[in-house]
Amino acid sequence: MSSIAFIGLGNMGAPMANNLIKAGHQLAVFDLVPGAVNSLADAGARAATSAADAVRGAEVVVTMLPASKHVEALYLGQDLLGAIDPSALVIECSTIAPDSARKVATAAQQRGLAMIDAPVSGGTAGAAAGTLTFIVGGEADNLARAMPVLQAMGKNIFHAGPAGAGQVAKICNNMLLGILMAGTSEALALGVANGLDPKVLSDIIAKSSGRNWATELYNPWPGVMENTPASKGYAGGFGVDLMLKDLGLAAEAALSSRSSIPLGELARNLYSLHSGDGSGKLDFSSIVNLYTHKTQ
């Protein structure tokens, strides 16, 4: 078992860290929210007083932070790289801009540190269940080293390519997810407005050419599926503002590569409107409320 520093104990990070503890790894944890640290300490982790304290002596460093600016501030601004043992492996699980991932990876390489970017898919439910999908960028040898740690938190692990490739693949996936959820919501709202039962319409779509993940596993209409955010007041899950952030990353990547993403940009505008009506903290499937004229 490994000695692991885990930094960032939010809705995703906390259950991921907890699964590492359950797998028998020794954890030192840090977050800017003391309550999050204390909760993991109660589960058996060492409560670190700072990020630098957490990484001291760690064989593996895992970070799960909100955005690019936080990752760059931690690794480069605070020079956390300088506090990490040169023999350690760094696993950066945040969803950030590919350019930021490459920037930090280059700085790590210059210090002789092994690092991979490994953003996740699967949401808070996947984080809690240990069934996340890891989309990895970096050298194959470093991924091989990371496998025992990743397998304690996830079920599917893909090697997308060199540093930053994990972020590119994650951004592409989430852009498509945002488009699919907006389109599914639009179709269901149209059907209901014309007298259809949303569950019946969802069942029809799920067995027809319009089938997709949203209609089959994460339906946005309240009451159609049990245990989805839509049937719990859109609480939990993957927030509107997080989807908006990822769609913004897709726009940045498109600009950087001179790519055209008209549907991605449209989805970004829709989620921006939805966030602006006070729904930013709700699950992203609440985008259906835009089509039914419901607001917070």
Measured distance CA(95)–CA(219) in Å, rounded: 24
Domain boundary among 117, 147, 162: 162
What's the number of CA atoms in the CB half-sphere (13 Å) around residue 130?
13
Contacts of 56 (CB under 8 A, 6+ apart): 5, 28, 83
Domain stops at, among 162, 188, 208: 162
**Are 9 and 142 in a shared domain?**
yes
**Containing structural domain, residue 25:** 3-162
Catalytic, out of 22, 170, 199, 294: 170
Residue 205 · residue 215 · CB < 8 Å: yes
What pLDDT, on a 0 to 100 scale, did the predictor assign at position 295? 61
Secondary structure (3-state) at 232:
helix
259 is a domain residue = yes
Q: Does 199 qualify as catalytic in the annotation?
A: no
Q: Which residues of the chain register pLDDT less than 50? A: none
| DSSP per-residue string spanning 149-209 | HHHTTEEEEEEEESTTHHHHHHHHHHHHHHHHHHHHHHHHHHHHHTT--HHHHHHHHHTST
Are the C-beta atoms of residues 38 and 14 closer than 8 Å to each other? no
pTM: 0.90
Structure tokens at 167: 């972020």
Whether the CB-CB separation of 143 and 117 falls below 8 Å is answered with no
User: Looking at the structure, do residues 177 and 133 belong to the same domain, yes or no?
Assistant: no
**Angle between helix 34-42 and 13-22 (nearest 10):** 20
Residue of 162, 46, 24 lying closest to 7 (CA atoms): 46
Burial of 34 (0-12, 13-18, 19+ CB in 10 A): exposed
- Do 148 and 202 share a domain, yes or no? no
Q: How far is residue 283's CA from residue 292's CA, in Å, rounded to a whole number?
A: 16
132-164, pLDDT tens digit by residue?
999 999 999 999 999 999 999 999 999 999 999
Q: How many CA atoms lie within 13 A of 62 on its CB side?
A: 32
CB 195: neighbour CB atoms within 10 A?
A: 6
Output the pLDDT for position 293. 80
Is the alpha carbon torsion for 215, 216, 218, 222 positive or negative?
positive
Q: How far apart are CA 49 and CA 5, in angstroms?
A: 12
Q: Quote the tokens at residue 232.
A: 């719990």
Position 67 in a domain: yes
For residue 23, the cross-strand partners are: none
CATH assignment of the domain containing 137: 3.40.50.720
- Residue 15 and residue 141 in one domain: yes
214-217's contacts with Cβ under 8 Å and 24+ in sequence apart are 214/180, 214/181, 214/184, 214/185, 214/285, 215/184
